[in-house]
Structure 1
Amino acid sequence: MTPTLLPLHPVPRLSLDPTPSRRAVVNGAWWPRSRDAAAELPGLVAAGDQRLGRTTLLVGLHPDAWRHIPDRIPARGRLVRVGRFRGADPHVVVLFFAAVEPVALLLIPPDTAAGPAQNALTRAARHTADLTADDLLALTRLPTAV
């Protein structure tokens, strides 16, 4: 029997607003499989770079929302810095790029059931200019605890 090889970084469960608004608190959502930043962030950066056609320079996150946070993560032959921002919303992860606006993603807790998580992925990828991250969590019935 041949063993099944899993990809190093499974395809991230990621949604992005096709026309992001500067006024929006989030421009999409991300549903990681764990709270292990070292394991999850490389896949997010790779998918974000590919879907947005940009090169991520920094990932910003709240340190209380993650375990195993590295200072840098590998991404297409380079290292991307990881910033720990205590003043940031723990329900949001931000991708920073050179010379363009950052992209903020609603962080869907890894243990969220598929139905609510898919709902959050869909809603966060729509125009959310009038909603906060907490509003989105409430609308999609996601847990608010970090």
Structure 2
Amino acid sequence: MKPRAPKTGYVDGAWWPYTADLVDELPGLITALADRLGPVLWVAYYLIDWDTPTRALVVDGQSVRLDWHGYTPAHTVELIDARNRRLVVLVVPPEADPRDACAAMTAAAAANGTPTVNELLGQGLRRRRARAGRKIAARRWADRTTSAN
């Protein structure tokens, strides 16, 4: 999660669930954010991201309304408390490569970060492609210099 400060960017942090089962995964996130947000009463999510859509859930004795919305961007969940405060969390797909997940989560938690959800999810992939491109260029240069001798 980003430090507690004036909000920058669209997301407040990132989450990498183990599965696409919202009912199993969401209680852990809500519990982890309880100190920061308080009791969560409502969660908006992008329907297609999850295997098990449902309308309600009970977490630590508190009823939580779950709702999918067309305005909620893919790969995010929005958590809202009793005072109508909200946190928007980037959801890294469960099947993501660990290096990509780490890069996206680190970028999402940057204090003054303002990247979009798509930019965040593309972070690790772009970095790996750039490294691979440098390795290929280095190999080609080595092949040229070796074959010239």
> Which residue pairs with 1:40 in the alignment?
25
Match of 1:120 in 2: 104
Structure 1 residue identity aligned to 2:104: A
Name the aligned partner's letter for residue 34 of structure 2.
D
Quick check: 1:28 aligned with 2:21?
no
Consecutive unaligned residues of structure 1, counting only runs of 5 or more, are: 1-15
Q: Please tell me whether the aligned partners of residues 24 and 127 of structure 1 are also in contact (alpha carbons under 8 angstroms).
A: no
Equivalent-residue separation in structure 1 for 2:101 and 2:82 (angstroms): 30
- How far the C-alpha of 1:74 sits from its partner, in A, is 1.6
Question: Aligned residue for 2:140?
Answer: none
Corresponding pairs, count: 126
Partner of 2:93: 109
| Unmatched segments (≥5 aa) in structure 2 | 127-149
TM-score under structure 2 length normalisation: 0.76
1:129 Cα offset (Å): 4.8
CA pair 112-58 structure 1, distance change in 2 beyond 3 A = same
More helix by share: 2
* CA apart distance, 1:85: 0.7
- How many angstroms does 1:128 deviate by? 5.0
Q: Percent identity?
A: 28
How far apart, CA to CA, are the structure 2 residues paired with 1:129 and 1:100? 24
Aligned-residue offset at 1:87? 2.4
Partner of 1:7: none
Counterpart residue number, 2:41: 57
Aligned to 2:132: none
Aligned-CA RMSD value: 1.8
TM-score by length of 1: 0.78
Amino acid at match of 2:47: P
